[in-house]
Chain A
């Protein structure tokens, strides 16, 4: 079984990636826009936050700057798609590829360490609670805030316009909704959340690495799909909670798979395990439907 440390580590990582899951949910499910930009905006958020923190900027400000950078990345994808009618998937791949170079520029090297630097979490260490618990607790509080904010937004008039844009763009335009603007807004919001995830990842793990973005989209999708499998389609709030729970369960499942000696898996098998897990999560609802009909 998992040790305490491994378990809480998995929960913490799951919470960090809950931001990615919510971002992916906004793009894929709300806007119906398959956005792979996240593979670039996650390390972008990590890079911006890490670099700013190392030069002495307040870590909260650094995280905010990371969100702005993520929003800018999403805007570029939206621009390519809306303005030049490049296929959504391709537009996001272009931005993602470009961001790899941008991230290297931002950091000036492939990775930046945050050892001994003050992070958003620093003030909460030494309050008596062990670090293993402080980290997931801190990230968890931020996740709850994000879930509530996104939930209230999606149930507002403005959020309803975004959901309508994804569901029926023609009808949305007839209702006076500028669907192009909604794509800009949605992708900016989505990638800002993903970049915040990246910024938190850098601060909880103590480094930013240019390769840390590989497969972000799959992890985010895995969380969304696991959440949907568990909660079904019953409203926005449950869908968002599903993203968070899905993200945590995914990390625990991965941790279990890797730490079970009987399976003989190594850390380098992570991507294979991820792909298998996502495939299983995709197939399960189908099997269930097949059995009931």
Chain B
């Protein structure tokens, strides 16, 4: 479960470049729910994800993940609760380490790391099985360096990494944006399967409105640091991509008007 109450984030406070990225966001996501997040550039999507992951600390408000108050916790201190797949396929894994070493790293996310060998025979076998489930043939390349893999392959492995250790939430940060359409579709199917099999509480930020409506149980739209749309259930089923685009246009129009007022 995720519970954000009255989250305010301001960057560059007290400087001429001060920007309010989030203005009092309230958001509760039930356990096992899959929520998609859309919004234009600068709407606050990345900041929202950052607040949950720990990369951004809120100036005001409270962040609960599961039963833990993580408001002031650093990224590494809350890693046991948060699994994550980044937009950039290079960002979510270590290119200079092998596939199995990356998996070994992820298998101990949020846990103490001792002096036991990271790749004992039992773990090796487990990793092999999990990678084999991807049907990408990567199980025969476990000792290959991660940076020899294509972007899509790396994202697929990243998804496996995200589910090796337990977590309260799964954060997906436009994780198909850097992929070609075929691979993006494969990764989305995989995501769907992983999320439903493991009943993960998931927050997926996406640029694709099609994705936002096709996947998950609930869609929220951010604009100017506020949640301006929050749909689920039947009203979400009726919603078309065209409706969302119309809303985007309307918002952009508003900002243009604002600018025009300022200039005039």
Which residues of A approach B to under 8 Å, CB–CB?
152-153, 155-161, 163-164, 167-168, 170-179
Please give, as numbers and ranges, the residues of chain A lying within 8 Å of B116 by CB-CB distance: 156-157
Tell me which of B16-24, B61-69, B92-100, B195-203 binds A. B92-100
Which residues on the B side are within 8 Å of A174 (C-beta)? 53, 75-76, 79, 82, 84, 92, 109
Which residues of chain A come closer than 8 Å to B110, judged between CB atoms? 175-176
Residue on A with the closest CB to B161? A175
Is the CB–CB distance between B108 and A157 below 8 Å? yes
| Complex: A46 Cα to B206 Cα, angstroms | 59
Q: What residues of A have a CB within 8 angstroms of the CB of B125 in the complex?
A: none
* CB–CB A171/B115 < 8 A: no
Please name 21 pairs of A and B residues whose Cβ atoms are closer than 8 Å in the assembled complex, sorted by A. Answer: A153-B115, A156-B115, A157-B118, A158-B113, A158-B114, A159-B118, A160-B118, A161-B113, A170-B91, A171-B86, A171-B92, A171-B93, A171-B94, A172-B94, A173-B75, A174-B79, A176-B76, A176-B108, A176-B109, A177-B105, A178-B76
Query: Once the chains are docked, how many angstroms separate the CA of A164 from the CA of B146?
Result: 12
The interface residues of chain A lying within 8 Å CB-to-CB of B80 are 176
Additional 11 contacts, C-beta under 8 A, given A163-B101, A176-B79: A156-B114, A157-B115, A160-B97, A161-B105, A164-B105, A171-B91, A171-B94, A173-B74, A175-B76, A175-B108, A176-B111
- CB of B58 within 8 A of chain A? no
Number of interface residues of B (CB under 8 A): 33
Tell me the bound Cα distance from A159 to B115 in angstroms.
Answer: 8
Q: B256 at interface (Cβ–Cβ under 8 A)?
A: no
Which residues on B sit within 8 Å (CB–CB) of A157?
Answer: 104, 108, 113-116, 118
In the complex the two chains form, what is the Cα distance from A45 to B248 in whole Å? 66
Contact in complex: B109, A160 (CB < 8 Å): no
**Selected contact of B95 from candidates A156, A167, A175, CB within 8 Å:** A167
Compute how far the CA of A161 lies from the CA of B95 in the bound complex, rounded to whole angstroms: 14
Q: How far is the CB of A175 from chain B (nearest CB, A)?
A: 5
Query: How far is it, in angstroms, between the C-alpha of A173 and the C-alpha of B79 when the chains are bound?
Result: 7
Interface check B117, CB cutoff 8 A: yes
> What is the CA–CA distance of A153 and B114 in the complex, to the nearest angstrom?
9
Q: How far is the CA of A172 from the CA of B109 in the complex (A)?
A: 9
B98 → chain A, closest Cβ, in Å? 9
Closest CB in chain A relative to B205 CB, distance in Å: 15
Is there an interface contact between A156 and B117, defined as CB atoms closer than 8 Å? Answer: yes
B131 on interface, CB distance cutoff 8 Å = no
What's the least CB distance linking A58 to chain B, in Å? 27
B98 to A, closest residue via Cβ = A235
How far does the alpha carbon of A160 sit from the alpha carbon of B118 in the complex, in Å?
7
- For residue B114, which residues in chain A have a CB less than 8 angstroms away from its CB? 156-158
Q: How far is the CA of A269 from the CA of B86 in the complex (A)?
A: 52
Which residue of chain A is the closest to B108 with respect to CB atoms?
A157
In angstroms, Cα B101 to Cα A132, docked, is: 43
Chain B: CB-nearest residue to A154:
B118
A69 to B: closest C-beta gap in Å: 24
Min CB distance A160 to B, Å, is 5
Chain A residues near B82 (CB-CB < 8 A): 174
* Chain B: minimal CB distance from A26 (Å): 15
Chain A CB within 8 A of B119 CB: yes
Q: Please state if A164 and B118 are interface contacts (CB–CB under 8 Å).
A: no
Q: How far is the CA of A161 from the CA of B115 in the complex (A)?
A: 11
B118–A155 contact, CB under 8 A?
yes
Docked Cα-Cα span, A163 to B101, in Å, equals 10
Specify the chain B residue showing the minimal Cβ separation from A160. B118
Structural contact, B118 and A156, CB atoms closer than 8 A: yes
A208 shortest CB reach to chain B, Å: 33
- Distance of A234 Cα from B119 Cα, bound (Å): 17
B4 CB contacts on chain A under 8 angstroms: none
Residue of A nearest to B75 (CB): A173
Residues of A contacting B79 in the complex (Cβ-Cβ under 8 angstroms): 173-177
A173 touches B76 (CB 8 A): yes
Chain B residue nearest to A161 in the complex (CB): B113
B96 contacts which chain A residues (CB < 8 A)? 163, 167
Pairs A-B, 5 closest by C-beta atoms:
A176-B79, A157-B113, A167-B94, A176-B110, A173-B75
Could you tell me the distance in whole angstroms from the C-beta of A201 to the nearest C-beta in chain B?
Answer: 29
Contact B94 A177 (CB under 8 A): no
Give the interface centre of B79, B97, B105 by most chain A CB atoms within 10 Å: B105
Report the Cα distance A134→B215, complex, angstroms. 71
Q: Does B106 contact A (CB under 8 A)?
A: yes
Cross-chain contact of A175 among B74, B77, B105, B118 (Cβ < 8 A): B105
Smallest distance from the beta carbon of B227 to chain A beta carbons, Å? Answer: 25
How far is it, in angstroms, between the C-alpha of A179 and the C-alpha of B97 when the chains are bound? 17
* Nearest neighbor of B111 in chain A, beta-carbon distance: A176
Interface centre among B80, B94, B97, B114 (most CB of A within 10 A): B94
Set B84, B94, B108: member contacting A168, Cβ < 8 A: B94
